[in-house]
Amino acid sequence: MSWQTGLTALAAGLLISVVTVPAGVSGAVFLLPVQLSVLHVPNPAVTPTNLLFNVVSGPGALVRYRHTGQLAGPLARLLIAGTLPGVVLGAVIRVFAVPGPGAFRLVAAAVLLPLGLWLCLRARHPSSRDRPPLRRRTILGLSVVVGTIGGIYGIGGGSLLGPILAGRGTPMTLIAPAALASTFVTSAVGALTYGALSLIGGGDIAPQWALGLLCGAGGLVGGYLGARLQPHLPESALRMLLGTLATTLAAVYVVQAVG
């Protein structure tokens, strides 16, 4: 690996995390196309490499959120309880069933685009009311689904759960630390699962360790900075940020799916 590639990986992890962490998104969803198109990480190794990024970058934001007391509460435990078994299932599906990414991208875009636009509208017109908050068992079920998707594609669950929870009235100050804590724990388990599966499966299953660590090191710094920034942003700005991220990601997925 050249020093230019390493520097690109470090910078990409840092810049992406600074922007996404205040909205409860790890940044792996935006790092995925960078790894595929710029860093040329092969499939399916890109998935565990993305999970490795989450593991290395996660503590930066989580340390800051713990310092401010934002990690306290049941939401993080509920999300982890659902995403943890989901990520193991997703890893097994990714290695042995090898689903194509096209269908996932279209489905994810269909979910994220209306949610993102609605959140942007909600941020511009804060007088409009949220829908009733989701029940615990509904959040748990969604977490299992998101964990499975995260295991297959190596993305942080906050990119899918965040807009849904925000749209149903959960404050962003609760969503961001809970979603990132869930992403960190499930990514660690997912990366270990891929490591175990690489011993019995063929192909590029193990993560690209150097790139994953460099991206994660950048994300570690960027995540801490993003977490410091979050308390200084109003709720409407955080919703606008999350809505913009969701809408942008949906557009990227559509372009990738039809391209």
The whole-number pLDDT of residue 131 equals 66
Q: Over range 201-216, report the average pLDDT.
A: 81
Does residue 186 carry a pLDDT above 80?
Answer: yes
Question: Which amino acid belongs to residue 171?
Answer: P
DSSP states along the chain: --HHHHHHHHHHHHHHHHHHGGGT--SHHHHHHHHHHTS-PPTTTHHHHHHHHHHHHHHHHHHHHHHTTTT-SHHHHHHHHHHHHHHHHHHHHHHHT---HHHHHHHHHHHHHHHHHHHHHHHH-TTSPPPPPPPHHHHHHHHHHHHHHHHHH---THHHHHHHHHHTT--HHHHHHHHHHHHHHHHHHHHHHHHHHTTTS-SS-S--HHHHHHHHHHHHHHHHHHHHHGGGS-HHHHHHHHHHHHHHHHHHHHHHHH-
pLDDT number for residue 169: 78
pLDDT of residue 134: 83
Q: What is the pLDDT of residues 86-144, one digit of tens each?
A: 988 988 887 777 556 676 678 778 878 888 888 888 788 765 555 677 889 999 999 99
pLDDT of residue 203: 60
- pLDDT of 166 over the 80 cut: yes
pLDDT > 90? residue 253: no
pLDDT at 160: 78
Instruction: Tell me what pLDDT residue 129 has.
Output: 58
Dist. CA 122–CA 147, nearest whole Å: 27
For the stretch 133-148, pLDDT in tens is 788 999 999 999 988 8
pLDDT tens by residue, 42-61: 777 788 888 899 999 999 99
What share of the chain has pLDDT > 90, as a percent?
28
> Does the pLDDT of residue 250 top 90, yes or no?
no
The alpha carbon of 164 is separated from its chain's Cα centroid by a whole number of angstroms, namely 14
